[in-house]
């Protein structure tokens, strides 16, 4: 699908799951880079639910969500609330990021996409 028009996504929220994939290694860099771009950061504590953190961000006025680890839970909230979602490829397999053709070697570029406010809509579904 073609991208849609530019849209302001401030305030945006990044949810970091340091227990997921390579997120622990990148946590400090992602945290600093996000704050430099004006993105609010929520680092999950051990055992904390990513879905709950995403709901809190949405209730706090987030206009977009980014996630590094815990993609499925945060994606469900983004769909439920109609929010743009940026996947920061820090996981082990990064299937969705690969399918989108994201550069898996430069995860901080995902934050630039979030700040730029460009959307690319994709179909979503649920399989049980």
For residue 25, the model assigns a pLDDT of: 61
Residue 25: Cβ within 10 Å count: 11
Q: CA-CA distance, 128 to 116, in Å (whole number)?
A: 34
**Given this model, what pLDDT does residue 75 score?**
84
- Longest C-alpha distance within the chain, in Å? 39
Q: What is the mean pLDDT of residues 44-73?
A: 87
Q: Which of 51-60, 101-110, 116-125 comes out lowest in average pLDDT?
A: 116-125
pLDDT (mean) for 65-84? 84
114 and 40 in contact (C-beta within 8 Å)? no
Q: In angstroms, rounded to a whole number, what is the distance separating the alpha carbons of residues 74 and 83?
A: 10
Is the N-terminal amide bond of 11 cis, ω within 30° of 0?
A: yes
Q: Are 18 and 85 in contact (CB under 8 A)?
A: no
Q: Domain extents for the chain?
A: 10-120
- Average pLDDT, stretch 77-85? 89
pLDDT given for residue 26 in this prediction: 75
Q: What is the CATH number of domain 10-120?
A: 3.40.50.10330
Q: Please give the Cα distance from 20 to 18 (Å, whole number).
A: 6
Q: Which tens digits make up the pLDDT trace of 7-50?
A: 456 789 999 887 776 655 677 888 899 999 999 999 888 888 88
- Residue 54 burial (CB count, 10 A): 27
Query: Higher-confidence residue: 96 or 59?
Result: 59
Higher pLDDT among residues 73 and 9, named by residue = 73
**E-state strands within the chain:** 3-4, 12-16, 40-43, 64-68, 85-87, 119-120
82-117: pLDDT as tens digits? 899 888 888 777 887 888 888 888 888 889 888 887
């Amino acid at each position: 699908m073609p991208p849609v028009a530019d849209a302001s996504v401030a305030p945006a929220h990044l949810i970091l799951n340091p227990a997921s994939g390579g997120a622990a290694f990148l946590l400090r860099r992602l945290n600093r880079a996000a704050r430099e771009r004006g993105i609010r950061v929520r680092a999950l504590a051990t055992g904390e639910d990513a879905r709950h953190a995403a709901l809190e961000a949405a209730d706090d006025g987030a206009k977009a969500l980014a996630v590094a680890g815990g993609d499925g839970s945060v994606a469900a909230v983004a769909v439920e609330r109609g929010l743009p979602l940026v996947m920061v490829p820090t996981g082990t397999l990064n299937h969705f990021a690969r399918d989108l053709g994201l550069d898996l070697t430069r995860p901080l570029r995902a934050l630039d996409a979030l700040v730029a406010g460009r959307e690319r809509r994709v179909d979503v579904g649920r399989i049980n």
